[in-house]
Chain A
Amino acid sequence: MAFEPETAIVATLDEVASARRQRVPGLRILFGVGLFLLTLALTFIGLLAITFFIGRVVPIDPVVAAVGDRASKAVYEAAKAAMGLDRPLPVQFAAYVGDVLRGNFGVSVSTGRPVAEDLARVFPATLEMATLGILIGVALGVPMGVTAATRQGGPVDQVIRVVGLLGYSVPAFWLGLVGLALFYARWKLVAGPGRVDIAYDGLVGQHTGLILVDSLIEGNTDVFFNALRHLTLPAAILGFYSLAYIARMTRSFMLEQLAQEYVTTARVKGLPERLVVWRHAFRPILVPLITVIGLSYAGLLEGSVMIETIFSWPGIGNYLTVALLNADMNAVLGATLVIGAVFVLINKGSDALYRLVDPRAR
């Protein structure tokens, strides 16, 4: 693929950087930042190459994929010329990268609007759900992981073992369906699909696109609590998956720290166990934990695709599935690109943060 040579350049720069590091320590961080940006840029080019490949090379006839098989001959020819498919692939790729950089993802066949506009409209809904999910995951997962490590083999440890395994083996869309059937239909504990009840729809304006924030800005508590009731179940399900991962990782990080000699020293000094655990053993795991939380957050943005379908949540995941079913490739690739870019950014960002904060990882 087109990005192979550039990838190799990174590696040589890495060598240069490591050579420089030994001589001029002051330049180290500058090089680190430069290297990070370069890796990030190359990963984005890789992402673009993959979506370009999916959109232009994989379909047997990309023109049909774009205009549909019922298009007339004239429309077909016009589309082919407009898409520049008569040009060589590298030229097409360059044009594609240029379009994406200008924020031009093409027009969605199903909504008739520019894909970029659609994505900007639906993204906040996904962000709101995933953010609440990760908050639940962190608030429950970290204390559970710490408790499991301090009382190895105890009840919390067993629960985490089971939750961890279920997090790997229960399909999110199925859990969403079962959750709706039980908590919404049977026990009426939460509200059903959608972001608010129809009666509340459109009562608050779009300021941030996050309905909880928007309703607070306008001081409309009715809408706020209604939206919260709608958010609870999908966010709790996402929270379950991030809890499973975060608790398991916290547990293994803590076990590693608790076996260290400085922990024994702290205990021998006579420090209360609470201080030994939270002040001594917990601090060093904060840095790797940030990486884990970042990865989990990125995973939730991806995982929301299935959950949004179940909960008729007007977010990017729902947009993507509707586009998939209508073979609306512009929308599919635009959504893939945006989710991919956010995913890559969080992924690489938490990695860089780890290197920046933890001197051992440099």
Chain B
Amino acid sequence: MTLDLSRPTLRDWLLADSPASRTQARLGRAYRASLALLRNPLAVLGALIILALLVLALIAPLIATDPIAQDLPNRLQPPSGAHWMGTDELGRDIYARVIYGTRITLEIVVLVAILAAPLGLVIGAVSGYFGGWADRVLMGLTDIFLSMPKLILALAFTAALGPGIEHAIIAIAISSWPGYARIARAETLTIRRAEYVAAVELQGASALRVIWGHILPLLTSSLIIRVTLDMAGIILTAAGLGFIGLGAQPPAPEWGAMISRGRSFILDQWWVATMPGFAIVIVSLGFCFLGDGLRDVLDPRSAERR
């Protein structure tokens, strides 16, 4: 290529060995990570599935009809040109309900991640940074929660709070923070003795400042990996709650609840229960693929061990 070599491209700027600013360093790191991610076909597939989930949730009204509009003369119709996935027992278009269901799934995973991840992160970082009694009490608590059956606790919590999607989200968040606390603590212990932490401490930084400004940022990448890998489990638990009747309430087009409705027709009208199931499997697989890929890119040590 006989281009003018003296003019740096955006790519050169991003991949510079000695970034001139903090922003450049961060953007460069993100760019390198995304390049590595693009070389992993399964991770790309996973990312595309998650992207499709986001886009479908956003443009649902443009590509699907009303998910709760009943059309009783056309009930339990098999898949056809008019109804790609058939209709359910109230004549509702299953395709429209599956598409609108992406919104509920997205709401669940985002809210659980927002509630559980920071909680586990702070508990783990505090525990690992202070050590001693704080560590023993917090980790004792975490271990007790970790050795409990998650699904059963989520079921019992939702039953006590009353059925509903908000309560299902709270119950799942309560049962998923301990895993994040464990990871955050383990990582904090390795950073805790680093010289740069000692340097900041000698400059008189408070514990809050050290944890917030110098430890938490380093924990985010392993936490992102773990949360992404956990997403499949969260989706399955939420669908299970919906299936039992404790999650999203009718007529909301929640996938688990849709499978539950289709249960009575499984022998003759198989599409009612199977279609939402495929949606759950595809989205969960997407998160698994992406999580695996992110782990290989952001945490090369664990990739070698596999």
Whether chain B is bound by chain A comes out as yes
> A residues bordering B, Cβ < 8 Å?
1, 3-4, 7-8, 10-11, 42-43, 46-47, 50-51, 54-55, 58-59, 65, 165-166, 168-174, 177-178, 180-181, 185, 252, 255-256, 298, 301-303, 305-306, 309-310, 320-321, 324-325, 327, 329, 332-333, 335-336, 339-340, 343-344, 347-348
How far, in whole Å, are A11 and B137 apart by their CA atoms in the complex?
Answer: 9
Q: Is the CB of A7 within 8 A of B256?
A: no
- B122 in contact (CB, < 8 A): no
Q: Is the CB of A8 within 8 A of B133?
A: yes
- B274 in contact (CB, < 8 A): yes
Q: A54-B157, A174-B280, A180-B266 are in contact. Are A42 and B140 (CB under 8 A)?
A: yes
Chain B residues whose CB sits within 8 angstroms of the CB of A42 once the complex forms: 140, 144
Q: Is the CB of A336 within 8 A of B156?
A: yes
Encode contact with A along B123-160: 1 for CB under 8 Å, 0 otherwise: 00000000001001100110111011111110111011
Which residues 237-296 of B have a CB within 8 angstroms of A? 239-240, 243-246, 256, 259, 262-263, 266-267, 270, 273-274, 277, 280-281, 284-285, 287-289
Chain A, Cβ-Cβ closest to B143: A43
Q: Is the CB of B160 within 8 A of A55?
A: yes
Q: Is the CB of B140 within 8 A of A10?
A: yes
- B193 in contact (CB, < 8 A): no
How far, in whole Å, are A168 and B234 apart by their CA atoms in the complex?
Answer: 10
Q: Determine which residue in A169, A301, A335, A347 has the highest number of CB atoms from chain B within 10 A of its CB, and name it.
A: A169
How far, in whole Å, are A1 and B144 apart by their CA atoms in the complex?
Answer: 12
Q: Is the CB of B147 within 8 A of A343?
A: yes
Q: A4-B141, A8-B137, A169-B284 are in contact. Are A302 and B149 (CB under 8 A)?
A: yes
- B232 in contact (CB, < 8 A): yes
Q: Is the CB of B240 within 8 A of A173?
A: yes
Q: Is the CB of A8 within 8 A of B140?
A: yes
Q: Is the CB of B259 within 8 A of A174?
A: yes
How far, in whole Å, are A159 and B277 apart by their CA atoms in the complex?
Answer: 22
Q: Is the CB of A54 within 8 A of B273?
A: no
What are 14 inter-chain pairs, A to B, with CB distance below 8 A?
A4-B137, A43-B143, A58-B160, A65-B160, A165-B288, A166-B281, A170-B281, A171-B236, A171-B256, A321-B244, A324-B246, A327-B159, A339-B152, A344-B148
- B306 in contact (CB, < 8 A): yes
Which residues 199-230 of B have a CB within 8 angstroms of A? none
Q: Is the CB of B148 within 8 A of A50?
A: yes
Q: Is the CB of B149 within 8 A of A324?
A: no
The number of residue pairs between A and B whose CB atoms lie closer than 8 Å in the complex comes to 158
How far, in whole Å, are A59 and B160 apart by their CA atoms in the complex?
Answer: 5
Chain B residues whose CB sits within 8 angstroms of the CB of A8 once the complex forms: 133, 136-137, 140
Would you list the 3 A-B pairs with minimal beta carbon distance, nearest first? A7-B140, A169-B284, A46-B144
- B51 in contact (CB, < 8 A): no
> B residues bordering A, Cβ < 8 Å?
133, 136-137, 140-141, 143-145, 147-153, 155-157, 159-161, 232-233, 236, 239-240, 243-246, 256, 259, 262-263, 266-267, 270, 273-274, 277, 280-281, 284-285, 287-289, 305-306
How far, in whole Å, are A309 and B159 apart by their CA atoms in the complex?
Answer: 17
How far, in whole Å, are A166 and B141 apart by their CA atoms in the complex?
Answer: 32
Q: Is the CB of B288 within 8 A of A329?
A: no
Chain B residues whose CB sits within 8 angstroms of the CB of A320 once the complex forms: 152, 155
Chain A, Cβ-Cβ closest to B289: A165
Q: Is the CB of B266 within 8 A of A181?
A: yes
Q: Is the CB of A7 within 8 A of B160?
A: no
5 new A-B contacts at CB < 8 Å, known A172-B240, A173-B259, A324-B244: A169-B280, A178-B266, A309-B243, A325-B245, A343-B148
Q: Is the CB of B144 within 8 A of A168?
A: no
Give chain B nearest CB distance to A197 CB in angstroms.
18
How far, in whole Å, are A256 and B305 apart by their CA atoms in the complex?
Answer: 8
How far, in whole Å, are A1 and B142 apart by their CA atoms in the complex?
Answer: 13
Q: A170-B281, A174-B277 are in contact. Are A332 and B236 (CB under 8 A)?
A: no
Give chain A nearest CB distance to B49 CB in angstroms.
11
Q: Is the CB of A169 within 8 A of B144?
A: no
Q: Is the CB of A7 within 8 A of B159?
A: no
Q: Is the CB of B147 within 8 A of A347?
A: yes
Chain A residues whose CB sits within 8 angstroms of the CB of B243 once the complex forms: 171, 173, 306, 309
Q: Is the CB of B280 within 8 A of A177?
A: no
How far, in whole Å, are A344 and B157 apart by their CA atoms in the complex?
Answer: 18
Q: A58-B160, A174-B277, A177-B273 are in contact. Are A168 and B239 (CB under 8 A)?
A: no
Q: Is the CB of B160 within 8 A of A340?
A: no
